[in-house]
């Protein structure tokens, strides 16, 4: 039962994490601010902690608790789902929703690289073509969304799991007294 709930909870909370990331991504397209980035990170870490702590509270009662490794496993699963949804958003954003804005950002970035004078025209042309192909590839966008989400989640999860874990209840369970009686 807990294994099924792991995937259900990971999907549900991963969707909320993805929605928050998508909203901040859209806001960042219109407002370039360091405060927005900091707020996005604070919301991400807070949600990661709250969802992991909730999971630990629900399934960590009793003599086993909900350990550090279990918290990290849940964070990993949650970030997998979040990454899939973020990748799907990136596909929609680059192909339909904000296609012109993404093209303009890429043109600006390539103009800045060309202005450095480090690369030849052939190298720049090849890099531009490869980048445009990657930005249009649904498989690449999904994989990069999943990989980025998992790396970010597990990185912060290393700290979050330490605070969200639930230690075992040493006084739970009725077998302890019987075991001690059998030892005597």
Q: In this predicted model, what pLDDT tens digit does every residue of 39-92 receive, in sequence order?
A: 999 999 999 999 999 999 988 877 788 999 999 999 999 999 999 999 999 999
- β-sheet bridge partners, residue 166: 66
Higher pLDDT, 173 or 62: 62
Percentage of the chain lying above the pLDDT 70 cut: 91
Model pLDDT, residue 172: 67
Residues 6+ positions from 53 with CB-CB distance below 8 Å: 163, 164
Residues 6+ positions from 69 with CB-CB distance below 8 Å: none
- Buried (b) or exposed (e) across 17-33, using 16+ Cβ within 10 A? bbebbbebeeeeeeeee
Average pLDDT over residues 152-172: 90
pLDDT digits (tens, 9 = 90+) for 19-43: 999 999 999 988 888 899 999 999 9
For the ranges 74-83, 106-115, 161-170, the lowest mean pLDDT is seen at: 106-115
Q: Pick the closest to residue 152 from 17, 52, 31, 55 (CA basis).
A: 17
Dihedral (C-alpha) 6, 7, 13, 16: value to the nearest 10 degrees? Answer: 180
pTM, rounded to two decimals: 0.81
Model pLDDT, residue 2: 57
Tell me which long-range contacts 156-159 makes (C-beta under 8 A, separation of at least 24). Answer: 156/44, 156/45, 156/48, 157/48, 157/52, 157/71, 157/72, 157/75, 157/76, 157/79, 158/72
Model pLDDT, residue 180: 46
C-alpha span between 63 and 84 (Å, rounded): 35
Model pLDDT, residue 88: 95
The residue to which tokens 């405060």 are assigned: 35
For the ranges 71-75, 89-93, 104-108, 173-177, the lowest mean pLDDT is seen at: 173-177
């Amino acid at each position: 039962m807990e294994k099924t709930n792991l995937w259900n909870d990971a999907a549900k909370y991963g969707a909320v994490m993805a929605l928050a990331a998508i909203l901040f991504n859209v806001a960042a397209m219109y407002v370039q601010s360091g405060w927005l980035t900091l707020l996005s990170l604070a919301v991400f870490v807070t949600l990661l902690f709250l969802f992991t702590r909730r999971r630990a509270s629900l399934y960590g009662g009793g003599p086993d608790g909900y350990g550090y490794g279990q918290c990290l496993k849940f964070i990993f699963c949650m970030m997998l789902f979040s990454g899939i949804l973020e990748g799907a958003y990136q596909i929609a954003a680059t192909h339909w929703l904000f296609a012109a804005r993404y093209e303009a950002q890429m043109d600006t970035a390539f103009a800045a690289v060309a202005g450095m004078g480090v690369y030849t025209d052939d190298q720049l042309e090849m890099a531009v073509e490869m980048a445009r192909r990657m930005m249009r590839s649904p498989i690449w966008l999904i994989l990069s969304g999943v990989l980025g989400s998992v790396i970010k989640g597990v990185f912060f999860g290393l700290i979050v799991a330490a605070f969200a874990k639930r230690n075992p209840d040493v006084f739970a369970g009725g077998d302890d007294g019987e075991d001690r009686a059998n030892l005597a």
